[in-house]
Amino acid sequence: MQRAIIHVDMDAFYAAIEQRDDPALRGKPVVVGELGRRSVVSTASYEARPYGVRSAMPTLEAKRLCPHAIFVPVRMARYREVSEQVFAVFGEVTPEIEGLSLDEAFLDVTASLRLFGDVETIGRYLKREIRARTGLDASVGMAHNKLLAKLASELSKPDGFLRVTPETAQAVLDPLPVGRMWTVGKVAEAALHRIGIRTVGELRGADPRRLAQALGNHAAQLQRLARGLDERPVESDVEEKSISAETTFETDLATFDQASAWLARLAERVGERVRAHDLAGRTVTVKLRKPPFETHTRQARVPAPTDATDTIYQTGRALLRDWWNAQERPRLRLIGIGLSGFGAEPQSVLFDADEGREKDVVADAINRRFGGGSLTRGAALKTRRSGSPDGGAS
């Protein structure tokens, strides 16, 4: 049976909440993120985007591009509250929900079709109910796999509603620039351009051997995606097998200090999520991708299950240093870190060895109250001045 997959992505979620809560902001360019030398844009309203303002941009740069923009502080607790309302709507149509962030999720509604009707009927219900309960717009993409469902929501934004069928998939995919394809970053895009491939259709029909010379082992997977083929399931298991975070960069990291700083920032995200789930793990994994698509992973076990950010970071940093020193010309286009091997040992045993846990708990409380990143480690501060995070936690 053909799967029915829906991708829901809230439109400019944080900024839309600010505009909803404060009517004086409606219709105006709103930037979520406080002005400051080390601050970055969390989200920009659609009124700010024509000026070039985008997520992860330094707020001072956003101010230069859009001098009349209104900057508001991050209110993460408020965004989580609204996110719970949105996900409650998802739960009314299917238990198969893969949350990607507070404002984005995949839903497998294959088993729900007999109860609710076709996938478009379910998609319309989601849009209508989210709007009724939150006052916010959601873009809904529908297809028979995750790749095309996500692409459908992206192509139809804002307030989008688009279904891609097996019959229409290539007509949608072929004209797109290759840079719109999932997993195609700036380096891969440049490599494809060098061999004359600029559209997804040209990628689909390219000689596999020529592609492999340009992209290495990743070429075959990219060509499958260009043909609209994606077998990834919607992963909705409640029990987490691993918690991780990763970031891809527009400009490759060229120094160990840069890479270490980003690893610290990602370790903070992982540690906060691990503690929020009341978990502790024994295995730290780092993911490192050299340009264009050569991916390496390294793992290490810690002596006792941990949820401490410092333990996760220092273990990952040692793995990163070993890898870095072994490279002739180290460069990184992606870096990630994760924790796995979760156990059910008594909490008092788990945390006795983690001297830094008390400060982690304080940092978590501050970040929940004032927004993620309000309090961060000194080791991560260099990330405020470089890089461009696009990935997330998984």
**Residue range 153-205, pLDDT digits in tens:** 999 999 999 999 999 999 999 999 998 887 787 888 898 999 999 999 999 99
Catalytic residue from among 104, 189, 246, 268: 104
Of the pLDDT bands very low, low, confident and very high (cuts 50, 70, 90), residue 354 is: very low
Structural contact between residues 282 and 328, judged by C-beta atoms closer than 8 angstroms: no
Helix (H) or strand (E) holding 251, with range, is strand 242-253
For residue 104, indicate whether it is catalytic: yes
Least confident of 44-48, 313-317, 378-382, 390-394: 390-394
Structural contact between residues 293 and 212, judged by C-beta atoms closer than 8 angstroms: no
What value does the mean pLDDT take over residues 218-233? Answer: 90
Structural contact between residues 140 and 150, judged by C-beta atoms closer than 8 angstroms: no
Least confident of 28-42, 44-58, 64-78: 28-42
Residue spans of the domains in the chain: they are: 1-165, 170-226, 242-384
Of the pLDDT bands very low, low, confident and very high (cuts 50, 70, 90), residue 364 is: low
DSSP strand pairing (43-44 vs 242-253): unpaired
Binding residues: 9, 103
pLDDT more than 90, % of the chain: 57
- The pLDDT tens digits of the residues spanning 92-102 come to 999 999 988 88
In CATH, which superfamily holds the domain spanning 170-226? 5' to 3' exonuclease, C-terminal subdomain (1.10.150.20)
Q: Look at the alpha carbons of 218, 221, 226, 230 in this order and tell me if their dihedral is positive or negative.
A: negative
Distances (CA, A) of 301 to 269, 285, 311, 318, 331: 19, 9, 11, 12, 25
Of the pLDDT bands very low, low, confident and very high (cuts 50, 70, 90), residue 283 is: very high
Binding residues for Mg(2+): 9, 103
Please give the Cα distance from 246 to 83 (Å, whole number): 22
Please give the Cα distance from 386 to 30 (Å, whole number): 23
**Of 250 and 20, which is predicted with more confidence?**
20
> What pLDDT is stored for residue 386 in this prediction?
43
> What pLDDT is stored for residue 239 in this prediction?
52
**Of 357 and 3, which is predicted with more confidence?**
3
- The pLDDT tens digits of the residues spanning 87-138 come to 999 999 999 999 888 899 999 999 999 988 899 999 999 999 999 999 999 9
**If you search the block for the tokens 């008390």, which residue do you land on?**
358
CATH architecture of 1-165: 2-Layer Sandwich (3.30)
Structure pTM? 0.65
Q: Which two tokens stand for residue 20?
A: 């909803």
Q: Which residues of 253-287 are buried (b: 16+ CB within 10 A; e: fewer)?
A: beebebbbbbbbbbbbbbbbbbbeeebbbbbbbbb
Look at domain 242-384 and name its CATH class. alpha beta
The answer to whether residue 29 scores a pLDDT higher than 70 is: yes
> What pLDDT is stored for residue 352 in this prediction?
41
